[in-house]
Amino acid sequence: MIDGSLVSARLLVFRVGTLAWAAEVDQVREILPRLPTTRIPGAPPVVAGLVNVRGTLVTVVEGWRALAPTETSQPRPPEDAGSTLILEVASGNGTKDGSGKKLVGFTVDEVIDMVAVGDTTLEDRGGLPGVDPTLVRAVGRRNRPGGAGGGAGGGGESGKDLFIVLDLAALLGPVLTT
């Protein structure tokens, strides 16, 4: 069964490694170029560090380390390529402003598209090879622009690219809990 809260949501589709992923647009505060990060000693490698988003300090998670850690054979793009998504994620223990939400940065290799979820966009499909099933909320397909294959796509029906809708809280929550 498909995650009900996703019906009629709008999704931002982006690429990390060889796969396309998606997050609800409502959770994306903004899309920025890659920002210079400051390492946080002691934090796990998945944390790229701290960035300055117009005066607010935001912890950034390295997308490929979180989602594609096994693709080590793939050449990584240069450090300053790609984008940083500033995400708003629910945090278990409330934050200072009491909203229970935290800002966290997430680096992606490329922002691909924005899609509206329609009746046929999503399907419930777990067990993708090499993907942690607890991070998957659903799997969707989008029309390939002009029918040409992008870098993304898990194979499948012609003219359609596969993307994985991420469970951001499951992905980022454990990193942020202090």
Partner 1 sequence: MDLSQYAELFLAESREHLSACNQLLLEWERNPAALQPVGGLFRAVHTIKGMAATMGYGRVADLAHRMENLLDQLRRGGKTPSDEIIQLLFRATDALEKSVTVAVAGRERDADLSVLEAIDDAALQFRPAAQPSGLARLRPEPAPAPADEPSSSAPQVSADATKSGPTRAVHVVIRPEAPLKGGRAMLVLKKAERFGAVHRLQPPSAAFESDDFDGRLEFELETSAAPSDIEQALRGAGDVERVVVGAAAIDEAVITTGEIPVTGAPNPAGGAGGGARSRHIRVDLRRLDTLMDLIGELVTERGRLNDLAARWIGRGGDPEIDDVAIQISRLSADLQNEIIQARMTPVWQVFDRFPRLVRDVGRQLGKQVSFRVEGKEIELDREILDELGDPLVHLLRNAVDHGIEPPAERKRLKKNPEGEIVLAAVRERSSVAISISDDGRGIDRAKILEKAKREGVVGPHVESLSDDQLLRVLARPGFSTAEAVTSVSGRGVGIDVAMTRIRALGGSIEIRTQAGKGTAFVLRLPVTLAIVRALIAAVGQERYALPLTYVAETVEYGTTPTTTMEGRDAIVLRDRVVPLVDLRKLLGTNGAAASPPPRRPVIVLEMGERRVGIVVDGMLSQQEIVVKGFDAPQGTLPVFSGATIMGDGVPALILDAAGLV
Find the largest Cα–Cα distance for the chain. Answer: 48
User: β-pairing, 110-116 with 10-16?
Assistant: antiparallel
Q: Is 47 in the site for partner 1 (CB under 8 A)?
A: yes
C-alpha–C-alpha distance, residues 68 and 131, integer Å: 8
For residue 116, give the 3-state DSSP assignment.
strand
User: Who's near 6: CB < 8 A, 6+ residues apart?
Assistant: 24, 117, 122, 137, 138, 165
Q: Is 43 in the site for partner 1 (CB under 8 A)?
A: yes
> Applying CB under 8 A, which of residues 69, 92, 100, 174 lies at the interface with partner 1?
174
Q: Residue 2 or residue 169: which is nearer to partner 1 going by CB?
A: 169
Q: Residue 120 or residue 177: which is nearer to partner 1 going by CB?
A: 177
Structure tokens at 89: 């994620």
Q: With CB under 8 A as the contact rule, which of the stretches 12-20, 21-29, 100-108, 124-132 interacts with partner 1?
A: 100-108
Q: Is 50 in the site for partner 1 (CB under 8 A)?
A: yes
Q: Is 57 in the site for partner 1 (CB under 8 A)?
A: yes
Q: Residue numbers of the site for partner 1 (CB under 8 A)?
A: 36, 38-44, 47, 49-52, 54-59, 95-96, 102-104, 174-178
